[in-house]
């Protein structure tokens, strides 16, 4: 697999007010389970508004390694047709690719349902603490799969009679699992009989997957609720679907606009999925931020006087964990002491060390971070994961002087043409090879 992401550094000139319009791309996190769902049918599938990211490129290569015909159509559409479904062959995904992205985990449920056999290493992704797959395996085992756990991989097989519906509880220490719910759902739609998933994740990524599966002929009730009822079917059809806007990208631009936007000329963010970002907008309102919605366009300005706040990252419809790092940067502008607690990934605060280098007054504690009013100064910092990278870009744009971000390539995993969009808004940002 030739999906190597190069190592880059970014140079950012701070204190340049940003203005203009920025477009939000399709949802990265929603694309992965839907791409995996194409393995459940031998009919052609069309997925539109797919973001051009390093992670989605890896997923395309993984599907090709499984025998799928994957064609790029236009700028943002993929035509997919699985050649593995119903052949009786056991297609094995590329091990190197599996370990590069967390989204590869969805291949497990889809392959179990379509081939009856899965052999793959544990998935990769950004490093911000343990993200086990115990709930996934518990769900597959409940459906009748035999699981063999090896040191570096897992092997799943189904009995001759196939997967069988049952009642499953998929709650974990942090509540419902988005990836666990979607993964087990991909297998359950073809299991015999009735499956009931209790403590199902209600995130938009799961809801959108359910809608796609319905168009394929799946039978699912309770969509959007913590209890999903599935009646298994023997065969599924193809689908044509356009991905919804990426709520995390949209939220990142909103926070960036407040941190770096021009005080009198608004930043326009469109399409802005405000119904999925109610928790963020509520928090911003409580901090004293002014924003305006005009249809699906959010208008927001920088230079606003903000109040300190306390935020808890929890499962949907609560404040999303993927936005806590950019929100922490905004908290450095608020008067007083703010705090942010992450009840999903309690170790996701490695970026605090880098914010301190920029002059931020921040103090990590168990499962959270305290932020105080700070003036940032440009310096050299290191991005440790995708959302931390976005947060450091925002901090660099706020800081006096020049900031240098190593491992800037992390933003390519979740933000399409990120620096190009920043320059379009007026930012002075340059990417270069190290040295």
- Closest by CA position to 252, among listed 273, 275, 229: 273
Please give the order of strands across the beta sheet that includes 402-406.
380-382, 402-406, 9-13, 428-432
Please give the order of strands across the beta sheet that includes 267-270.
20-23, 267-270, 297-300, 291-294
CB 245 within 8 A of CB 25: yes
Q: Is position 126 annotated as part of the catalytic site? A: yes
Q: Within 13 Å and on the Cβ side, how many CA atoms surround 170? A: 33
Catalytic annotation, pick one of 126, 202, 210, 259: 126
DSSP strand E in 158-274: where?
167-169, 171-172, 175-176, 194-198, 219-221, 227-231, 240-242, 267-270
User: Which position has the token pair 């094995």?
Assistant: 92
State the DSSP string of 343-387.
Answer: SS-TT--THHHHHHHTT-EEEEETTEEEEE----B--EEE--SHH
Residue 259: how many other CB atoms lie within 10 Å: 22
H/E segment holding residue 417: none
Residue 49: how many other CB atoms lie within 10 Å: 18
What 8-state DSSP symbol labels residue 245?
B
H/E segment holding residue 70: strand 69-73
* Inter-CA distances, 256 with 135, 171, 296, Å: 35, 33, 18
- Closest by CA position to 298, among listed 336, 337, 244, 257: 257
Burial class of residue 285 (count of CB atoms within 10 Å of its CB; 0-12, 13-18, 19+): exposed
Q: Is 111 helix (H, G, I), strand (E, B) or coil?
A: helix
First to last CA, the chain: 27
Which residues are identified as catalytic? 126
């Amino acid at each position: 697999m030739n999906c190597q992401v190069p190592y880059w550094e970014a140079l950012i000139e701070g204190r340049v007010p940003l203005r203009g319009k920025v477009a939000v791309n399709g949802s990265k996190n929603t694309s992965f389970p839907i791409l995996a769902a194409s393995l459940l049918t031998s009919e052609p599938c069309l997925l539109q508004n797919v973001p051009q990211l390093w992670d989605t490129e890896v997923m395309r290569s993984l599907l090709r390694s499984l025998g799928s015909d994957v064609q790029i159509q236009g700028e943002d559409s993929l035509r997919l047709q699985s050649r593995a479904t119903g052949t009786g062959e056991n297609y094995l995904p590329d091990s190197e690719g599996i370990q590069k992205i967390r989204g590869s985990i969805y291949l497990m449920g889809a392959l179990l349902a379509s081939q009856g056999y899965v052999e793959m290493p544990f998935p990769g992704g950004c490093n911000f603490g343990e993200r086990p797959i115990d709930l996934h395996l518990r769900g597959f085992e409940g459906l009748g799969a035999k699981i063999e756990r090896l040191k570096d991989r897992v092997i799943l097989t189904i009995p001759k009679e196939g997967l069988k519906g049952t009642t499953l509880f998929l709650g974990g220490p942090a509540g419902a699992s988005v990836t666990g719910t979607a993964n087990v759902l991909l297998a359950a739609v073809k299991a015999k009989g009735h499956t009931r998933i209790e403590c199902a994740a209600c995130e938009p990524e799961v809801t959108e997957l359910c809608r796609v599966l319905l168009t394929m002929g799946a039978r699912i009730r309770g969509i959007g609720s913590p209890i999903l009822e599935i009646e298994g079917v023997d065969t599924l059809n193809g689908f044509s679907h356009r991905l919804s806007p990426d709520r995390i990208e949209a939220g990142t631009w909103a926070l960036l606009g407040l941190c770096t936007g021009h005080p009198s000329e608004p930043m326009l963010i469109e399409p802005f999925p405000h119904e999925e970002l109610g928790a963020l907008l509520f928090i911003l309102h409580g901090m004293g931020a002014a924003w305006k919605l005009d249809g699906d366009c959010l208008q927001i300005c920088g230079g606003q006087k903000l109040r300190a706040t306390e935020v808890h990252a929890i499962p949907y419809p609560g404040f999303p964990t993927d936005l806590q790092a950019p929100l922490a940067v905004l908290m450095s502008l608020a008067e007083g002491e703010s705090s942010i607690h992450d009840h999903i990934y309690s170790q996701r605060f490695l970026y605090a060390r880098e914010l301190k280098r920029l002059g931020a007054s921040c103090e990590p504690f168990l499962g959270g971070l305290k932020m105080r009013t700070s003036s940032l100064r440009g310096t050299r910092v290191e991005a440790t994961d995708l959302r931390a990278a976005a947060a450091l870009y925002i901090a660099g744009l706020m800081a006096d002087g020049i900031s240098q971000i190593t491992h800037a390539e992390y933003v390519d995993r979740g933000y399409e043409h990120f620096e190009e969009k920043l320059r379009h808004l007026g930012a002075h940002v340059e990417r270069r090879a190290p040295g």
